[in-house]
Chains A and B, each alone.
Chain A
C-alpha cells in the first residue's frame, strides 16, 4: 500500500535528523558507561591508579595475576562452562522447538518456560542446590531406601571442580531465554511454510524443522546466543552458589579481589577483569569458529537427503525430557518456599518435621529494609529504561539503525566493566549509592525492554497515527494518546520484565553498591554462603515473588484501567442525562 494512509505520516528530513541526534545521545548513554568501565579496569591493570598512589605503568600486575595459584584453571573452567552451557542451551532450544513446532504443545511449552525466564539466576541456582546437593531433595527421596545413606554423603554433587553443576543450572536458566527469543523470530523466517514444503518432500517433522528452518532461525538468534555465551562465561552469583571452589571461576575471583579492598586486591582485580574481557572475546571467537564447522556439517547432512520420516519416538522422548526438566525446576522453586518455613528437617526425611512462620516473623523487619531498597532500585531502573526504550524504538521506526548497540551491555562481560565503573567512581571521590546502582540497573534493563517491545511496536498498524495526524494531532499527542495508549499492555509487561531483571542483578548491585546497597538477590547469595537454610529460603522466596507480582500487576492493571474507563464513560453518560 503506497497510499497516503498506508505509509503513515512521512517524517520530514529535519525531524529525521532530530531522531538521529536523539539516538546518538542515547547510544552514548549506553556505550559510554561500558567503555568508561573498560578504561577503568585497563588503567589499573597496568598499574595506574593515582587515588590509591599507584602511578607506574607496569606489566608486573599482570604477571602477578598469571602467577596466582590456579589462575589458568579458573580461566579454563570459566571458558569451558560458558561454551558448554551455551551449546547445551542452543541444542535444547532447537530440539524442543523441532519437537513441538506445528503442534498445540508449543503454546504449552511457551507458557511453562516464560516464568523460568523471569526468575533471578541466583534463585534458580539455589533451587538447584535444594534438589541436588548431597543433603538435597533428590537424595532424600531415594535415601536410605536405595542408597542406604542415613547421613548426607561426602560427594561433590554441587561445586564440583569442573563446574558441571554450574553448567546444568545455567542451561536450565538460559534455555527458556533462547526458546522465547526463537519463538519471536519464527514469524520472520516463514517457518510454517518451509516446514510444510520440506514435509511434502518426505522429511519427518524433526528433520523438516531442523533442515528447513533452524539455520534461518539461528541467524536471528545470533546476538542473544552471544549474550548467553558472555553471561555464562562471566557469571558470578550462580558460580558462587554452584561453581567450583578450589579454585573458583574467574568471575568469582574478580569479586573476591574487589572485596579484599586493599590496593593489591584492586589492582589484581582490575587485571583479572581485563583477563575476563579477553577471555570472553576469545570464547566468542571459538564459538564463531565452531559455528562455521557445525554449519558446514549441517550442509553436508542436509544435502545427503536423509529424511528421518519416523521420528515419533524421538519427538516423544524429547518432550518427556523437556517436561521432566521443567517439572524439576519448578520443584526446586517450590522447595525453596518450603525451606523458608521448615522447622527441624534432618537428612533422609523428605518433609520437614514441623512448619512455622517464625523465621519470617523474626527476620521480616531486617528483610523489610532489603525489600525497600530492592523496590526503589527496580522501579527507578524501570522508570529510566522504559522511556529510553520508547525513544530508541521511535528512532528505529524512522530508519535510524541502533539495534545492534543495545546488545553491548549484554555481550561485554558485566563483571569486567562494572568493576571499572566502580574504580572510576571511587577515583573521582564519589561513593556510589542507591542512585548509581539504579543507573547501572537501568543499563541492563534497557536491552530487555527493547527486546520485549520491538515485536508489538512493529506490529501496530501505523494508520492509527495517520488518522490522528489527519485530525490535526501533533507528534507528541500521537505518540502518547495513540501509540503508547494502544500498546499499554506490552508496555506494562516490558516494565515488569525490567523489574524482574533488576531484582535478579547481582554483579552490578554488589560491585557498585559495595555492600551499602543490598537487594534480595545479594542477600540470597550471601545467605547461601552462610548455609542457613531458612534464611536462604526466605530471600529466595522473595526473589521468586517479586517478579511474579510484577507480571501479575502488568497483566492486570491495563485490564483494570479498561474496566475503569468503561465505568467513567458510564457515569459520564449518567451526568449528561441528569442535566436538563
Chain B
C-alpha cells in the first residue's frame, strides 16, 4: 500500500516548518534533505505521532485508506528507526525483536512458538540469528543498527520512517547498512520516508528527493 500526503504540514507557533504532498509508492524511498533545524525530524515525528505540544500538524496522511494523523501513535502502523538504535537494555536481542512481533496476524492469534519463529526469522533477515541470546550492550554499533532494523520490521509496519539512521555508523558500515535497509523495505513493499543531511543516503535510496531549506516559510518545498 502507499503512503499518501495531502497538504501535510508541520508548524511551530503558527509558522509552517515543512510541507509534504504526494504519494510514496510501496518499495520506494522519499529522501527529505536539509540542514539541521529545518524541521526534517519534526515531519517524521508528526507522522509517527510524537510531536511536542508546541508543534501542530495539518492536512492528512493516509495509510491503508485511514488518516493516521487522527489515530494515537500505537494505532498508526508506522515503523520508525533513529540514529541511535535504542535497543531496550533490559531485554536480550531476541527479547527486543519479540517485543515487536504482533499478537495477531489477520484474524488468527499467534501462539508463543509462532511469535518466536517470526522474531528469529526477522533476525535471520538481518543476518544476526546467531546473536539471539546476546545482551544489547555487548553488540557493536553496526550489529545494534541491524537488530533495531529487525525489530522495526518484525512489528509488521505498513510504512517505514528513517530518522538519520546511518549517521552514527562509520563509512564502510554505512553503505552496507543502506543496502540492507532499502533492500528489505523493498522486499516488504513498504513506502519509506528517509530524513538525512547526507546526499549519499538519498543517492543510495534512489527515489525522489525533497529539499528543505531550513527557512520556515509557508512555501516550503513540496513535490
Q: Do A and B come from one complex?
A: yes
Q: Residue on B with the closest CB to A190?
A: B86
Interface of B is mostly: loop
Interface residues of A in 157-198 (CB under 8 A from B): 190, 193-194, 196-198
Of B77, B95, B100, B101, most buried by chain A (CB within 10 Å of CB) is B100
What is the distance, in angstroms, from B174's C-beta to the closest C-beta of chain A?
A: 22
- Whether A307 lies near B82 (C-beta < 8 A) is no
Does any Cβ of A come within 8 Å of B48's Cβ? yes
Q: Tell me the A180-229 residues at the B interface (CB within 8 Å).
A: 190, 193-194, 196-205, 208, 211-212, 215-216, 219
Asked if B80 contacts A200 (CB within 8 A), the reply is yes
B183 on the A face (CB < 8 A):
no
A201 and B73 alpha carbons, distance in the complex (Å): 9
Known: A302-B99, A304-B112, A306-B103. A208 touches B74 (CB 8 A): yes
Determine whether the beta carbon of A305 is less than 8 Å from that of B74.
Answer: no
Shortest CB-to-CB span from A327 to chain B, Å, is 26
- For the complex formed, measure the closest distance between the CB of B102 and the CB atoms of chain A, giving whole angstroms: 7
Docked CA distance A299–B94 (Å): 12
* Closest beta carbon of chain A to B85's beta carbon, Å: 10
B53 interfacial contact with A, CB 8 Å: yes
Q: Is the CB of A307 within 8 A of B101?
A: no
Contact with A along B97-109 (1 / 0, CB 8 A): 0111111000000
CB neighbors of A among B136-151 (8 A)? 151
Any B CB within 8 A of the CB of A10: no
- What distance in Å separates the Cβ of A453 from its nearest Cβ neighbour in chain B? 27
- Say which residue of B48, B78, B98 sits within 8 Å of A303 (CB atoms): B98
* Chain B positions 66 through 103: 1 when the CB is less than 8 Å from some CB of chain A, otherwise 0: 00000011111111101010101111000100111111
Q: Judging by beta carbons under 8 Å apart, are B86 and A215 in contact? A: no
A202 partner, pick from B75, B88, B112, B151, beta carbons under 8 A: B75
Q: Nearest-CB distance from B195 to chain A (Å)?
A: 15
Q: Which residues of B contact A18 (CB under 8 A)?
A: none
Contacts of A305 in B (CB 8 A): 98-99, 101-103, 110, 115
Q: Does B27 count as interface, using CB distance less than 8 angstroms?
A: no
Of chain B, the residue at the smallest CB distance from A196 is: B50
Indicate the size class of the contact surface on chain A. 20 to 34
Query: Does B191 sit within 8 A of A, measured CB to CB?
Result: no
Specify which chain B residues have a CB less than 8 angstroms from the CB of A203 in the assembled complex. 74
Mark B105-141 against chain A: 1 for CB-CB distance below 8 A, else 0: 0000010100100000000000000000000000000
Asked if A309 lies at the interface with its beta carbon under 8 angstroms from chain B, I say yes
**A104 B53 Cβ-Cβ under 8 A:** yes
Q: Are B99 and A202 in contact (CB under 8 A)?
A: no
Interface size on B, residues (CB 8 A): 33
Contact residues in B for A219 (Cβ distance below 8 Å): 90
Contact A202 B155 (CB under 8 A): yes
Q: Known A197-B80, A202-B102; judge A307-B74 contact (CB<8 A).
A: yes
Q: Are A201 and B155 in contact (CB under 8 A)?
A: yes
Q: How far is the CB of B150 from chain A (nearest CB, A)?
A: 12
Majority-rule SS of A interface residues: helix
Chain B residue contacts of A303, Cβ below 8 A: 95, 98-99, 112
A190 CB to nearest B CB, Å = 7
- Given the contacts A302-B99, A303-B99, A306-B103, A204 and B74 also touching, CB distance less than 8 Å: yes
**Inter-chain contact A200/B99, CB cutoff 8 Å:** no
Determine the chain A residues whose CB is within 8 A of the CB of B77 once the complex forms: 202
Distance, CA A196 to CA B52, complexed state (A): 12
CB pair B99–A211 under 8 Å, yes or no, is yes
A190 CA / B77 CA spacing, docked (Å): 23
A203 to B151, CA, bound (A): 14
Partner among A201, A204, A309 whose Cβ is within 8 Å of the Cβ of B99: A201
Interface string of B33-56 (1 = CB under 8 A from A): 000000000000000111001000
Contact: B74 with A199, CB < 8 Å? yes
Specify which chain A residues have a CB less than 8 angstroms from the CB of B48 in the assembled complex.
196, 200
Q: Answer whether A200 and B88 are a contact pair too, CB < 8 Å, given A299-B95, A305-B99, A306-B103.
A: no
Contacting pair B78 A200 (CB below 8 A): yes
Instruction: Check B86 against A309 for contact (C-beta < 8 Å).
Output: no
Choose among A200, A205, A302 the residue with the greatest number of B CB atoms under 10 Å from its CB.
A200
Q: Which residues of B contact A306 (CB under 8 A)?
A: 103
Cβ contact of A200, chosen from B53, B76, B95, cutoff 8 A: B76
Q: Which residue of B lies closest to A305 (CB)?
A: B103
Given A299-B95, A302-B99, CB of A200 within 8 Å of CB of B155: yes
Interface centre among A201, A215, A216 (most CB of B within 10 A): A201
Question: B100 to A201, Cβ gap below 8 A?
Answer: yes
With both beta carbons as reference points, the residue of chain A lying nearest to B88 in the complex is identified as A212
CA distance A201 to B88 in the complex (A): 13
C-alpha spacing A31/B100, complex, angstroms:
47
User: Which residues does chain A contribute within 8 Å of B110, judged by CB atoms?
Assistant: 305
Contacting residue for A194 out of B73, B86, B112, B151, CB 8 A: B86
Residues in A whose Cβ lies below 8 Å from that of B53: 104
Per-residue interface assignment for chain A, residues 302 to 324, with 1 indicating a CB less than 8 Å from any chain B CB and 0 otherwise: 11111101000000000000000
A216–B90 touching, CB < 8 Å: yes
- CB closest residue in chain A, given B112: A304
Q: Which residues of A contact B78 (CB under 8 A)?
A: 200
In the assembly, what is the distance between CA of A208 and CA of B88, in Å?
12
The residues of A with any CB-CB pair to B shorter than 8 Å are 104, 190, 193-194, 196-205, 208, 211-212, 215-216, 219, 299, 302-307, 309
Q: Which 3 A-B pairs have the closest CB atoms?
A: A199-B73, A215-B90, A201-B155
Between-chain CB contacts (< 8 Å), 11 pairs: A193-B86, A197-B86, A199-B49, A200-B48, A201-B79, A201-B155, A202-B77, A202-B155, A302-B91, A303-B95, A305-B103
Kindly list 17 other residue pairs between chains A and B, CB separation below 8 angstroms, not including A193-B84, A309-B72: A193-B86, A194-B86, A194-B88, A196-B48, A197-B86, A199-B49, A199-B50, A199-B72, A199-B73, A199-B74, A201-B151, A202-B74, A208-B74, A216-B90, A305-B101, A305-B110, A309-B75
Residues of B bordering A, CB below 8 Å: 48-50, 53, 72-80, 82, 84, 86, 88-91, 95, 98-103, 110, 112, 115, 151, 155, 157
